[in-house]
Structures are given as structure tokens and as C-alpha cells.
Structure 1
Amino acid sequence: MIRLLIADDHAIVSSGLLQLFSLSSDVCVVALATNGGQVIDSLRTTPCDLVLLDMSMPGISGIDLIGRIRVRAPALPILVLSMHNEALVVRRALKAGANGYMTKDCDPEALLLAVRKVAAGGRYLDPGLAEQMVFDTDSDQFKHPHEQLSNRELCIFRLFVSGMGVNQIADELAISNKTVSTHKARLMQKMGFQSNADMLRYGVDHNLGS
């Protein structure tokens, strides 16, 4: 039996996943988490065989959360299930320690296959993403200016583009307003933005809103 921890802050997604896995004879959901803190707490108290992880949740999330899981449980399989399908995000998630990556528009049977494969020690990449990355011949170069940003800078950039302000982002990521402002200043300098309008325009043009 595969003991599964589902980490997703969207109730409708978690509900659908619970229904899907309830129909499987070899997968059992042992914990649900809606933010990064709950994921870490669950790992302390509830043994599991795989973490099914959304990339965008309140508090610690995404690349940062994958890294923290790896520190606490180096061998625990992590399968990302995300709405983000950009090669940049996928590459960074895998580099941070994820064992697999799928998008939320995947077929339920494909998700079950991925869960079983990753829980057994394998790796799994959504076929559409795999094809995109294989033909991304310039993957080692910065194809777009935002690819030079750090993981945290890119996360904060996305949140600004999605319409959040400094205070909201600070609450979302559980960091100080000053830290958010510092990251914002650095990313604007790296990208050569002269104003918030420049930043938002670029983000919209490159579909970076979370």
C-alpha cells in the first residue's frame, strides 16, 4: 500500500484527488496539507511513501519546500502536480529534488501510473513536458531574461504579476515586508525594469502570473 501525503491548498483539487485514490486498491491518502508548514508537520508525525506536491501554496512552497522536504527526508519520493508547465519551472523543481512532475490537466490514469512509479523509486515526467524539454535545445542558456532570477525572486515576481502587493506577498510566503521589498528591488535591477508598470507588462506578456 502506497501511503500518500497530498499537499494542495485548493479544496476542489484535494477532494478530486481523494476520490480518485479511494478507487485504487494500492494507494491510501494518510495526510492532507494546505501549506508548507503543514507539510513539514505531517512529515514529523505521519509516515508516508510519497508526497504529491502542488508548487504554489501559502507560506513555504515550490522550490523552497522541495528543498526543506529533502533536508528532512532525503529519500522520500516527491511527485509535483502543478498548473505550471514552463520548462524553467520543471527544470528547477527536478534540480531541487523532485522525482517527478505532472500538470493538473493530466489524465487520472496517468497520475496513478506516476504515483506508483515514483513511489517505487522511479522517476516520471509528463510526456508533454518531456517533449518540450527535449526540444528545448538552449536549456543551458537564458532564453528569457526572467530565467536569470533566483527561485525566490521568480516566485515573488509571479505573485506581483498575479496582483498581490508587498504586504500580501509577505503574508503568503511568511516572510517580512522588508524581505519582499529587497527581492523586488533585486529582480527589478536584474531585469532592467524602471517601474512597476514595466514589471507587470513583462510578466503578463510572458504569462508569469501565478
Structure 2
Amino acid sequence: MTAAIRIALADDQALVRAGLRALLERLGGIEIAFETDDGAALLQQLAASPVDVVLSDVRMPGTGGIDALTALRQRGDTTPVLLLTTFDDSDLLLRATEAGAQGFLLKDAAPEDLHDAIVRVAAGETLLQPVSTEPVRARFRFRDETPPSDSFSEREVSILRLLAGGYSNKEIARTLFLAEGTVKNYVSTILDKLGTRDRTRAVLKAITLRII
């Protein structure tokens, strides 16, 4: 029997939390480990009770979802974070991406889509396309648009997405359950395929070429 995905739920509205809990428990395969009503409490509880995925509202009084995510990454916690918002705002998507979010969804997404997003994020995927990504691509556009020398495997794309989130080789290895040396080899291959000298240029070019 597959173990349930443990999630932390953060939203300042009690009714929203209750609705999300009921929805996710009805769909099955997900366990709400704990709930909080702000980002500061979320950070505190995560330190004592690790989870598989954090499901957090973007806008909360005090410490919002993106600020909490930033603090989480700064202390070395790579727990996947799925952010929810009622705002169809490309700038929020950009900020979520820069902070290292694995997922970003609008609150009016279908229940099945939310459930699927949690499952996929828990499995290491990145879901950051609920709104127009063009402002993101425009901001990060890279001058070299030469096509890559070869296609990218699903694993290489996953690593590129984690590189875009600011993850180190060690953090990527822990997230994808790989040896750090294996990740280093993947990164070298990615740089070669993109014809770039460093990770930052690789991420910028991958965004420009729509690889990620």
C-alpha cells in the first residue's frame, strides 16, 4: 500500500483551509500533517514536523507564502512548495520561480488538478504555468538562442528546473535521490548540450529556448 503524501497547509482563512482539507481527504492519498494561518507559524512547525509537500497561500498577513518559501530555502530546507493564489498575476509567478517554488496554481483550479499537482510536485516535478509565462521569459531572455546540441532527457529537464530554483548539486542530489557525483555529471552534460559555461547561463538559455 502506497504511503499517503504528508502535506502542510498554510492559509489565513479558516474556511479555505477546511475546504481544502475536506477536498484532499475526499480524493485520497494525501494526509494533512498540520495547518497554519501564516508563514511564520509554517516555518516554525516545519522545523519540528517535516512533510512531503507544503501547500501555501501566496498572500497572508505577516509572512506570506513567498517570504516563507524564501526563508525555507535560506535555511537549507528543500521541501517542495506548491503556492496557491486567487490572483492571475505573472509577476507573482516570477517571484515564486525566483524563490524556488516547485508549483504555482490558481485557487480556482479543478479539485482533480490540485490533487494531481500535489502528487506530481511530491514526485519531484515542477508546475509553474497557471498564468502567462511570457513576462518570465522576457525578463530572463538570453542573447544566445543557438539550439542545443542534443535533446534533453526527463531527468535532465528536472535538474534544469531545480537549477533554476537555485538548488546546489547537493540539494538536487537529495531531492532526486541521486549521488552528488551523478548530479555533477548531469550538470556537465547539460552545460555541454546548451553550449554554456556556467549554471546561470544554462538556466537563462533553457528558459529562452522553452526547455523549462
The reply to whether TM is greater than 0.5 is yes
Q: Distance in 2 between matches of 1:12 and 1:73?
A: 32
1:105-129 Cα shifts (integer Å, max 9, x gaps): 1100000000000011111134x41
Q: Quote the residue 1:18 is aligned against.
A: 21
Cα distance in 2 for partners of 1:14, 1:73 equals 27
Matched with 1:133 is 133
Which of 100, 104, 112 aligns to 1:97? It is 100
Distance 1:136 1:25, change over 3 A: closer
Q: TM-score, normalised by structure 1?
A: 0.61
Q: Find out whether 1:59 has 2:70 as its counterpart.
A: no
Give the direction of change, closer, same or farther, for the CA distance of 1:137–1:68 in structure 2 (3 Å limit). Answer: closer
SS state at 2:27 partner: coil
Q: CA deviation at 1:136?
A: 6.9
Counterpart residue number, 1:144: none
Q: Deviations over 1:151-172 (max 9, x none)?
A: xxxxxxxxxxxxxxxxxxxxxx
Provide the secondary structure at the position in 1 that maps to 2:43. helix
C-alpha separation in 2, matches of 1:6 and 1:135: 29
Task: Give, in angstroms, the shift of residue 19 of structure 1.
Answer: 0.4
- TM-score when normalising by structure 2: 0.60
Runs of 4 or more consecutive aligned structure 1 residues displaced over 6 Å after TM superposition: none
Quick check: 2:94–2:136 contact (8 Å CA) kept in 1? no
- 1:106 aligns to what? 109
Q: Identity percentage over the alignment?
A: 33
Aligned residues: 138
Code of the residue aligned with 2:103 in structure 1: it is G
1:124 alignment partner in structure 2: 127
Aligned to 1:161: none
Instruction: Tell me which amino acid in the other structure corresponds to 1:42.
Output: Q
Cα displacement (A) at 1:48 = 0.6
Contact 2:58-2:85 at 8 Å conserved across structures = yes
Gap regions ≥5 residues in structure 1 = 142-210
Letter in 2 for 1:22: E
2: CA distance, partners of 1:73 / 1:19 = 31
- CA-based RMSD of the aligned residues comes to 1.9
Distance (Å, rounded) in 1 between the aligned partners of 2:52 and 2:91:
27
Question: Compared with structure 1, are the counterparts of its residues 88 and 10 closer, same or farther at alpha carbon in structure 2 (3 Å cutoff)?
Answer: same
Q: Secondary structure at the match of 1:125?
A: coil
Q: CA deviation at 1:139?
A: 3.8
For residue 73 of structure 2, the aligned residue among 62, 70, 74 is 70
C-alpha displacement at 1:24, in angstroms?
3.0
